[in-house]
Amino acid sequence: MDYDAIIIGAGISGLYQLYRLRELGLRVRVLEAGTGVGGTWYWNRYPGARFDSESYSYCYSFSAELLQEWDWTEHFSPQPQTLKYLNHVADKFDLRRDIEFSTRVTAAHYDDDARGWMVTADTGAQYRSRYLVTAIGPLSAPTMPRIDGIETFAGEAHHTARWPHHPVSFDGKRVAVIGTGATGVQAIQEIAKTAGHLTVFQRTPNWCKPLKNRPIDAAEMMRIKAGYADIFRRCEESFACFLHTPDPRNTFDVSAEEREAFLERLYEMPGFGMWQGNFRDMMTNPQANAVISDFIARKIRQRVSNPEVADKLIPKNHGFGTRRVPMETNYYEVYNQPNVLLVDLKETPIERITPNGIRTTAAEHPFDMIVFATGFDAVTGSFDRIDIRGVKAARLKDTWRPGIATFLGVLVRDFPNMFMLMGPHTALGNIPRSIEHNVDWVTGVIGHMQKFGLTRADAMPEAVAAWTEYVRETGQALLSNQVDSWMTGINSNVDGKQVRSMVRYSGSAPAYREWCRKVASGGYRELAFA
Ligand code: NA7
């Protein structure tokens, strides 16, 4: 074997996994497609990209020294600052010497005789390794919309997740943005500041909530540093590892006045409070959800001066919080600007992209630039883009075709020694919190194998069946699983992703960790070792 472990990806999960496996004394190589570290925060450098979670809850917690030496400048860190932080982490722990940049993994094949993986990169290089850790992210395979003529556009065109490294100017330009998810909303509010004219092409409006970001001064940063232990304890106890926990009351436990006052407070609160800290039945009771959606709809009407435009911005096919809630800063006010136009694609669909711009069924819009904020082939897309084969050369893509099946979202039966970080069916939520847990657990399994001289680990079929069933059960009551979004496996631009499927675990993070803890403390009986 060339290496004990190959890690694919040098984002938040890959960097930390490298750190941990090095502690075990393993020979590790990280293969990274980008020219630098950072993953999501390396690729998504579009204007407006930033954390939607409090910076100090969304960072690594494993090193007290790192926590104490790093100063966050804003409550919700902007992408350049986050990238700087991840570069600092790579330098501080001397991680770069084990990372190969500009190396995109194209294939990973398991060899049962050698009990290891043969990994192939687009550079032509091949690597043999005992363990394979995928640190490729649930939202990292960008998708372009399927629109006729897209390749004929003669102006500038950028996907938000493949944003150029050089500055992009919107000054005086006629700019189009397609897509109004969390990314589109962040980009639109920024582009509108300088574009000559901005046209937003919206297919489905989302329920957006004010972020209420603000700078962190030195005194506040000192207080945050002193309170890190409490911050991470709160994250650990909450449903999805955020600083916000659901209110113990149900929506209709309180009077209409009290409810309104509570929702007002949440609306004014920074971050995900309105989504993660609302009445506890918001995500399961359609009537409760309708009340909260109505509250946000009224806010949109107050903030957008033209009632017809306001109406177009109000979602009609899903309730608040049932899709990822985009966080905004003056997003709705953008539509009051004279240089901004909203095009509702439900009314006037795009017919084609032309060399000059975009033609809908109603008009031809000329553009200098098109920004595609059209999202990702989520969760499984980053796996599908690599030719991953397990025992008897079975393709991972085919294995999952009838439905995703994993053990704890980490292991897949018949793909021995492959460990997924942030894979399908694992706890997501506040991703860095989940990453640290995932990495520590994987490190535990690998450490166990090293200690006992084991060379093959696979998930037992019964364990896979039990976890997959648990994922299905915990997702049943949730309104969000009855709505089309990347969280339910839908992507209109990808073949085979038109029907909803259970791609993510939607139970609680504490329950997920308890499963993992029991498996580890029981000596990994759910895994077949050899
Ligand atoms: P999302 O949330 O998947 O949003 C993609 C957006 O692009 C969404 O508004 C889509 O409309 C729109 N879209 C996609 N294809 C088309 C076509 N063909 N025509 C018109 N509009 C289209 O991706 P984001 O990058 O915003 O966010 C992904 C996650 O990253 C986010 O949840 C955070 O967790 C981080 P649709 O809703 O499908 O009608």
For residue range 208-227, list pLDDT tens digits in order: 999 999 999 999 999 999 99
Mean pLDDT of 508-525: 98
Q: Are the C-beta atoms of residues 448 and 456 closer than 8 Å to each other? A: no
Give the residue among 55, 34, 48 at the shortest CA–CA distance from 79. 48
- Ligand 1, atom 20: closest residue by C-alpha: 203
Atom 23 of ligand 1: nearest residue by CA position? 375
Q: What is the pLDDT of residues 225-270, one digit of tens each?
A: 999 999 999 999 999 999 999 999 999 999 999 999 999 999 999 9
| Phi/psi of residue 6, nearest 5 degrees | -110, 130
Of 452, 396, 455, the closest CA to residue 423 belongs to: 396
Please give the Cα distance from 199 to 1 (Å, whole number). Answer: 54
Enumerate long-range contacts of 241-244, CB under 8 Å, 24 or more apart: 241/427, 241/429, 241/430, 241/433, 241/434, 241/509, 242/53, 242/57, 242/271, 242/272, 242/276, 242/429, 242/430, 243/53, 243/54, 243/57, 243/271, 244/271, 244/272, 244/273, 244/275, 244/276, 244/277
Assess whether pLDDT exceeds 90 at residue 185.
yes
Tokens representing 228? 């890190």
DSSP assignments along 123-182, one per residue: TS-EEEEEEEEE---SS-SB-----TTGGG--SEEEEGGG--SS----BT-EEEEE--SH
Q: Whose CA is nearest to atom 25 of ligand 1?
A: 375
The whole-chain average pLDDT of the chain stands at 98
Residues 6+ positions from 483 with CB-CB distance below 8 Å = 317, 318, 319, 322, 323
Residue nearest to atom 4 of ligand 1 (CA): 181
Question: CB–CB of 233/94 below 8 Å?
Answer: no
Spatial contact of 125 and 405, defined as CB atoms under 8 Å apart: no
Residue pLDDT, tens place only, 348-400: 999 999 999 999 999 999 999 999 999 999 999 999 999 999 999 999 999 99
Query: For the segment 485-507, what is each residue's pLDDT rounded down to a tens digit?
Result: 999 999 999 999 999 999 999 99
3-state secondary structure of 525: coil
- What is the sign of the dihedral through the CA atoms of 71, 72, 78 and 82? positive
Distance (Å, whole) CA 110 – CA 131: 10
Closest CA relative to residue 102, chosen from 127, 130, 124, 128: 124
The yes-or-no verdict on residue 281 having pLDDT over 90 is: yes
User: Ligand 1 pocket test: which of 51, 492, 495 has the largest number of ligand atoms within 8 Å of its C-beta?
Assistant: 492
> How many other CB atoms are there within 10 angstroms of residue 239's CB atom?
20
Task: Tell me how many degrees the CA angle 243-137-456 measures, rounded to the nearest 5.
Answer: 110
Q: What is the pLDDT, as a whole number, of residue 301?
A: 98
445 touches ligand 1 (CB under 6 Å): no
State the distance from the centre of ligand 1 to the C-alpha of 181, rounded, in angstroms: 5
Question: Which is nearest to 419 in space by CA: 393, 439, 396, 449?
Answer: 439
Q: Tokens for 191, please give them.
A: 């582009």
CA-nearest of 471, 470, 409 to 434 is 409
Which pLDDT belongs to residue 214? Answer: 98
**Nearest atom in ligand 1 to 161's CA:** 25
Residue 181 CB–ligand 1 contact under 6 Å: yes
Q: What Rg value do the Cα atoms of the chain yield, rounded? A: 23
Ligand 1 contacts CB of residue 374 (under 6 A): yes
- In terms of phi and psi (left: phi > 0; alpha: psi -120 to 50; beta: otherwise), the region of 403 is left
Atom 32 of ligand 1 has which residue's CA nearest to it? 324
Q: Is the CB of 178 under 6 A from ligand 1?
A: yes
pTM of the model: 0.98
Which one-letter amino acid corresponds to residue 388? I
Q: Report whether pLDDT(134) > 90.
A: yes
State residue 495's pLDDT score. 95
What is the model's pLDDT at position 1? 85
121 pLDDT band, cuts 50/70/90, is very high
Read off the pLDDT of each residue in 11-32 and give the average, rounded to a whole number: 98
Most informative mutation of 183, 211, 488 for ligand 1 (most atoms within 8 A of CB): 183
In one letter, which amino acid is 389?
R
Phi, psi of 358, rounded to the nearest 5 degrees: -125, 130
pLDDT at 359: 98
Query: Rounded to the nearest whole angstrom, what is the distance from the C-alpha of residue 442 to the centroid of ligand 1?
Result: 31
Give the SS3 label for residue 120.
Answer: strand
**Nearest by Cα to 46 from 219, 181, 208:** 181
Burial class (CB in 10 A: 0-12, 13-18, 19+), 103: buried
Q: Which of 189, 203, 493 to mutate to test the pocket of ligand 1 (most atoms within 8 A of CB)?
A: 203
Q: Is the CB of 169 under 6 A from ligand 1?
A: no
| Cα separation, 118 vs 184, whole angstroms | 38
* Type and span of the H or E element at 372: strand 369-372
- Distance (angstroms) between ligand 1 centre and the Cα of 375 equals 4
Closest-lying ligand 1 atom to the alpha carbon of residue 323: 32
Q: What is the distance between the alpha carbons of residues 273 and 291, in angstroms, rounded to a whole number?
A: 17
